[in-house]
Amino acid sequence: MGGVDLADMPIELYCSNLKTRKWYMRIFYYVLDSAVVNAWLIYRRHCWQSNDQPMPLLKFKTSIACSLGYPDTPRRRPGRPLSLESEGNPPQTIPTQPTLTPTDVRHDGYNHFPEFGKDQERCQICQKKTKILCSECLGIALCLVPERNCFLSYHRK
Ligand SMILES: [Zn+2]
Ligand SMILES: [Zn+2]
């Protein structure tokens, strides 16, 4: 019983406060919150073992949301709309300025493919002009020419 109360404490702290009347959705959000808190507890233990300072739970949750391309965060996955536009409203403009990709996404080695952009942009590494963009790190321009491979340098740890 005491263990259950202890486990509920961090879940209650930043619970997904989504107003829903459906009882099964409440269970769903509770399970989701428990999973995040459990992940954070494992992460915290891992940090202590390697003498690192763990990030607080709120920051941990925010970084997960950011990595998943939650709206209002810099990252966006293809196919998931950035704005919740409704009919009649003009679509929200996507910022043209390159936004920083979270480092865990940048180095995850998943789905990062070179794509051709319309215009020349400044390379994130060497600042030279290039039309190559990363398909996953949206808006990030990187050189991919025989002389230099900034695309590889950017994604390698
Ligand atoms: Zn470059
Ligand atoms: Zn990338």
pLDDT digit string, tens, across residues 41-89: 999 998 899 888 888 888 888 888 877 766 554 444 444 444 444 444 4
What is the distance in A from the centroid of ligand 2 to the CA of 152?
A: 9
In a domain, 78, yes or no: no
Cα R_g (the chain), whole angstroms: 20
Q: What are φ and ψ of residue 23, in 5° steps?
A: -65, -35
- Give the pair of three-digit tokens for residue 81: 């709309």
In the structure, ligand 1 is a single-atom ion and the residues with CB under 5 Å from it are 123, 125-126, 143, 150
Identify the nearest ligand to the CA of 138 by its number: 2
In a domain, 49, yes or no: yes
**Cα–Cα distance for residue pair 42/156, rounded to 1 Å:** 26
Note down the domain range covering 16: 1-73
Identify the nearest ligand to the CA of 105 by its number: 2
Residues 5 and 66 in one domain: yes
Number of domains within the chain: 2
Banded model confidence at residue 121, pLDDT cuts 50, 70, 90: very high
Angle at 120 between CA 115 and CA 149, to 5 degrees: 55
Dihedral of the alpha carbons of 134, 101, 61, 94, in degrees to the nearest 10 = -80
pLDDT tops 60 at residue 16 = yes
What is the distance in A from the centroid of ligand 2 to the CA of 105?
A: 8
Predicted confidence at residue 83, as pLDDT, reads 45
What is the distance in A from the centroid of ligand 1 to the CA of 157?
A: 16
Residues 13 and 65 in one domain: yes
More confident residue, 79 or 110: 110
In a domain, 94, yes or no: no
Which residue type occupies 108? D
Residues 23 and 62 in one domain: yes
Predicted confidence at residue 109, as pLDDT, reads 85
What is the distance in A from the centroid of ligand 2 to the CA of 43?
A: 25
In a domain, 38, yes or no: yes
In a domain, 90, yes or no: no
Please say whether the beta carbons of 83 and 71 come within 8 A.
yes
Run of H or E residues at 138? none
Predicted confidence at residue 154, as pLDDT, reads 92
pLDDT tops 90 at residue 147 = yes
